[in-house]
Each structure stands twice: as structure tokens, then as C-alpha cells.
A and B are shown apart, each in its own frame.
Chain A
Amino acid sequence: MSASAPMLEVQDLRTFYGAVEALKGVSLHVDPGEIVTLIGANGAGKSTLLMSLCGDPRARSGRILLEGEDITAMPTHQIIRRGVAQSPEGRRIFPRMTVLENLIMGAQAMGHDPAPGLERVFALFPRLNERQGQRGGTLSGGEQQMLAIGRALMSKPRLLLLDEPSLGLAPLISRQIFAAIKALNESEGLTVLLVEQNANQALRLAHRGYVLVTGRITMSGSGAELLARPEIRDAYLGGGH
């Protein structure tokens, strides 16, 4: 592989739910060290795309390359072991397990010693350190989101897939989460593919962005470029601003 191979390359990906085509030939790429955001309305296929990258649901056609390696047909757990981590839609933390147990589950599939990962996550989200003995289900929404991201980071991923980290959070909390993502990207060069409905914050954070409309990429460009486009402003930023 050449050194310039993208971290993630998606070629003409098609995914179906039964007969319904959710992704109609999506192509995109994410370079190492980039934050790329994928914005779009409800039902555009953003979460489907993230899940398809992990093979669940499996894409019907197209190719997914991780650093040049074809992972399209790979079992989900092996994709994760190749250095992809996903913080799934709706956070999906383990409610009856403690914060600490939740985090350890993140390192488990990789067979990592959890200690260094825990140190890193607690440094990033000190709140989780305070709450480590508490049950996941009793955390506030923002803390649960921190836990979901922290759990994904425990596998020391090279590519982090984040599905709507700002969902249902107060603006202040979601700004904290975005700041944490930015810090990870800048200090460790972590590559991030971020799915968001909050287009404004996401595009300000990201180096590049894609716009997904009913299963197709309709626009792409740098974060600033997309922010400046009137159709984006109208469709995703509430028009009047």
C-alpha cells in the first residue's frame, strides 16, 4: 500500500433493508488525520452508512477499503479488530453495568490491557472517572454520550465512527463533546467520521463534509465551503440565519 492510501474509501456502496434501497451508491473517502462529517436529514441513510461500514447490515454491492484493505465482506468483529471503532446511534451503553465495566467492554474484543485506555478516557472525560462505579443507566444524557465515545476509544481505534454525538444534549454539553473530539484529532491525529444532524457545529469542526440526501451524496467540500453554501444554509441550518 502506498502511504497516501486513504484511511477509509467507500466506492459505490448500496445497502438494502429488504426491498428498500437505503444507500443508492455512496462513494466517499476519509484521509488519515481528518475529521469528516456526514450531514443529512432524518432518514437520509447516515446511520445506515455507518453501520454498513461495520458490515451490519451488510452492503449488497460496492466496496469498502480500510487503508487499502477490502473489508466489505469481513465479519463485523474482525472489522472492529482492524482498528475501527463505532459509537452507535442512541449511545447504547450497557445500562446495568458500571461505567468502568462499560469502558472495559470497549477494550475487550481487541484483547488490550484496559489500564492505559482507561487513563486516556478519564483524562479526556474526568466526569467518567468520578462516576466509574455508577451504573451506566443512571448517568445523565451527556455523561452517557461521553461514556459511549470513551468506550469506543478503549479499543485504540485508528478510525472513529461517531453517530450523532450531540443527539438530545443541551448545547453546552454538545459543545463539550465536540471540543473533546477536536482535542483527540489534534493531539493524537485520530481520524473521525462524524454523522450529525447538527450541521452547523459539525461543519465548523470538520475538515471536510458530505451531504447525504435519500441515500445519495449530493454535495461535498471543506467544512467552511459547505457552511457558506446557501442551499446548505436553507436545508440544514434553519434558513433564516
Chain B
Amino acid sequence: MAFSAALRDAAKATAIAFGLFVVMVGLRTDVSPTGALFLRTRWTELAMVCALVFAGRLAIGLWVTPRFLTNAGGSLAAPLAKAGAFFGMGLLVVAVVLPAIPGIGRYELDLAILVLTYVMLGWGLNIVVGLAGLLDLGYVAFYAVGAYSYALLAQYFGLSFWVCLPLAGILAAFWGILLGFPVLRLRGDYLAIVTLAFGEIIRIVLLNWVDLTGGPNGISGIPRPTFFGLPFNMSGDPGTFAGFFGLEPSPTHRVVFLYYLILCLALLTNWVTIRIRRQPIGRAWEALREDEVACRALGINVTNTKLTAFALGAMFGGFAGAFFATRQAFISPESFTFIESAIILAIVVLGGLGSQVGVAVAAIVMIGGFELFRDLDEWRMLVFGAAMVIIMVLRPRGLVGSRTPTVALGQKRSIGSDYVSEGRG
């Protein structure tokens, strides 16, 4: 159903709901303390009911109806892609206004920051695994390189977060290339083994190089980020964030700032990925994922293509690592174990290799769900594993398995994940 038609349909449903509920919900007779009946109005509740009906009917009109229509021979891919675009925009709007939503406190913001960190890591790894098809089980190594780069540069040279952020990215990209060279000839399982080993090597070096990294004790007292030079603290000096803007000093300021910082970093990752997908190098990545021999036969420089994928993916991992270090103010090798790599990879695979919205949703579901089931203690992993199995059985290509073509002469059509399996054409 077209958007305008769905809108009209939803408006009609809302009008009917209003007619029904204005008396059922909006007006209520109560017994007053004196024993007499009186009429109480509940307009807020009525408005909420109507809003719910409107939203629900709109959703049905946009997403459920096309599913029925397609049984008559249409394609499900196009409405799904449209829904995906709306959904992505909706997610973005929610993300931008989140700190202002009533009821969102410190705990929720901290959780949102954690989720966004994984969204960013997922998007970064998506470049390597989703687009270029290089199975990387050691992505956490670049996260660690970024975190330790910032921590060490700040500790030894007193550099600020804003100077260290690009440096951390560059250093991680450098390590990405360093990993890329020995694995140029490897694919699939063999590549996975070597990248897994690489991740462990980085962690074990960090653990044992006590003079430099503090070993298992980690590094503490990592400087917090500043708002363009204005620190966040409770003193209220004109030199601080709160003092400069004449605000009441509050610890929430820093959390909100960190939230927007990671949101911007994640969106940067997303933006760069979307842009690059339409560039020759991005198409070359995808072609490489599809068939390496064909790429060579077409004169694609496979070496450069792989190394740029590793470097760019690692760079965003490095940014995320620097953010992690400044947020925690303390890092140790314990934060960079294999399970982190596995979670990030699971986010990318569950989301649908190569899909940006899918990865974001998977990160929210995985990290948010992990937090939601905190009360289940050790059962949590079981619930978690079962959820992953169910998702993969129901949607073997991930939550969003379709890919949008990077170029089209006429109308752009999304391409469903059904019908064609992994095999060669």
C-alpha cells in the first residue's frame, strides 16, 4: 500500500476509535466522597489510545498489507526495503532525541552508550566481513589497539582525546594492514583461524608487556573527554562546561555528551560505509566477497582491495576503542577477550551481512537483550544462544538479508535474499 493510502486508512481507523473510546475511555463516572456520581474526563488516556490505533493501523497498512498483496504475485523486496528505510529513519530520530525523552535516566543512557558502541563496532566489522567477505574473528584486536593507543598517548605524552582519536584510528588501521598482509592468500576457515590468533596475540602482548601497558592491572586514570576544551566537572568554574554555559553542574552532562559523541562516531562509520559502497572500491569489496577469481580476471587489484577493507574496518574499531577508553577511564586486557569478537561478529551475521540497518537492530537486540535478561544470571547465556539459533533458523540470511544495488539506470529495486543460496552463479 502506498504511504498516502496507508495514512488515509490509519486516519479513518483513528476516527472510528475516537468515536468508540470517547465515551468508553474519555468519560468515566466515579463516586465522589459525598456518595454522588460525577463525570471524570480522561482526555490524556483517550489521546494515547487514539495514537496507538493510528500507529498500529499505519504499520499494518505499510508492512502487513503488502505481504498479502505479494501473494498475488508482487515482490516483497521493494516494500520491505521501503519499510527498512522508514524504520532506519525512525531509529535515528529516536537515537537523536533519546536523552530528552522523559524517563531516560543515567542507567538507560549508559546502556544506550554501550549499545551504540556495539553498533559502531558492528558497522566497522561489517566492512570487512559483510562487504569484503573476509571472515575476521579477531576484530577486538583493533578495538584494543584504539583503546590502548589513546590510554598510552594520554598517559605518556599528555595528549588530549581529540588529538588521540584520529591517531588511535590511524594506528588501528596500520595494524589492520599488518594483519592483512599475511592473510592475503587465505579465505574462509583459514582466514578465520589466523585472525582469531591475531586477536589473541594482541591481547596476550597487552597482558604481558607490563612495563608499557601495566599488564593485568590495566591503565587507570585515563583522561575524560572535554567539550572542545571545556572539562565536565562539578566545580561550576567558568572554565568548565556547566560554568561556561551557565548551567547547574550535573554529572548527567558528561553522560549525555558521551552519548552524542558515540552517536556521531557511529553515524560517521555508517555514512562512510554507505558512501564507499557506491564508490568503485566498495563495489570491488562486494565483488571480492562474491568471487575472488573473477575479480582477478577483471583486473581488480585484489591485494589493495583486501588491505583497504582491513584498514578501514580496523580504523573504525580503533575509534570505538579510543571512545571506550575515555568513557571507562580504565582499561585492561580483560575487556578485549575473544568473546567480544564473537559478539561483534554475531551482531553482523544476525543483522544480515552487509546491511546497515540490520546490524543496528541486531546490536540493540543483542546488547539490550543481554541487559534485559540480567536477572536470569547464568541462564542468560542460554536464552541468548536460543534466541540466536531461532533468528538464524527463521532468517538464515540475517534480519535484513536484502541488499540494495549500488547503481541503477532506471528505478532502484532492492534485492531479496530468497531464492539464491551462497553458491556460485
Interface residues of A (CB under 8 A from B): 54, 56, 75-77, 79-81, 85-88, 90-98, 100-101, 104-106, 108-110, 118, 132-133, 135-139, 144, 151-152, 155
Contact = CB atoms under 8 A, between A and B. Distances in A.
A218 to B, nearest CB: 27
A133 B414 CA distance: 9
B424 A90 contact: yes
Nearest to B288: A94
6 nearest interchain CB pairs?
A: A80-B299, A109-B299, A94-B290, A92-B294, A95-B425, A137-B420
A94 B133 CA distance: 13
A96 B290 CA distance: 7
Given A95-B423, A101-B283, A139-B425, A110 B299 contact: yes
Interface stretch (B66-74, B102-110, B215-223, B399-407): B399-407
A95 B287 contact: no
B297 interface: yes
Interface in B258-295: 280, 283-284, 286-287, 289-291, 293-295
Contact of B296 (A54, A85, A98, A144): A54
Contacts of A77: 296, 299-302
Interface residues of B, number: 33
A92 B407 CA distance: 20
B284 A97 contact: no
A238 B291 CA distance: 35
B101 to A, nearest CB: 39
B17 to A, nearest CB: 41
Given A95-B420, A133-B408, A88 B297 contact: yes
Contacts of B284: 105, 108
Contacts of B291: 92-95
A135 B415 contact: yes
B293 A97 contact: no
Contact of A100 (B286, B290, B408): B408
Contact of A108 (B280, B296, B403, B415): B280
Contacts of A95: 290-291, 420, 423-425
Contacts of A76: 296, 299
Given A77-B300, A87-B297, A136-B425, 10 more contacts: A92-B291, A94-B291, A96-B286, A97-B290, A97-B405, A105-B284, A105-B287, A138-B420, A152-B298, A155-B298
A135 B283 CA distance: 14
B223 to A, nearest CB: 45
A93 B294 CA distance: 7
12 contacts: A88-B297, A95-B423, A95-B425, A96-B403, A101-B406, A108-B298, A110-B299, A137-B420, A137-B425, A144-B425, A152-B297, A155-B299
Contacts of B287: 94, 97, 105
B413 A133 contact: yes
B420 A135 contact: yes
Contact of B286 (A93, A97, A118): A97
B413 A91 contact: no
Contacts of B295: 105
A73 B287 CA distance: 25
A132 B408 CA distance: 8
A133 B410 contact: yes
Contacts of A132: 408-410
A56 B419 CA distance: 33
B423 A98 contact: no
A94 B289 CA distance: 9
B298 A80 contact: yes
Nearest to B304: A77
Contacts of A106: 298
Contacts of B286: 94, 96-97, 101
A136 B286 CA distance: 13
B416 to A, nearest CB: 9
Contact of A56 (B280, B296, B300, B409): B296
A85 to B, nearest CB: 8
A144 B425 CA distance: 8
A98 to B, nearest CB: 5
Nearest to A84: B299
Given A76-B299, A98-B408, A92 B283 contact: no
Nearest to B291: A92
Contacts of B409: 100, 118, 132
Nearest to A50: B297
Nearest to B413: A133
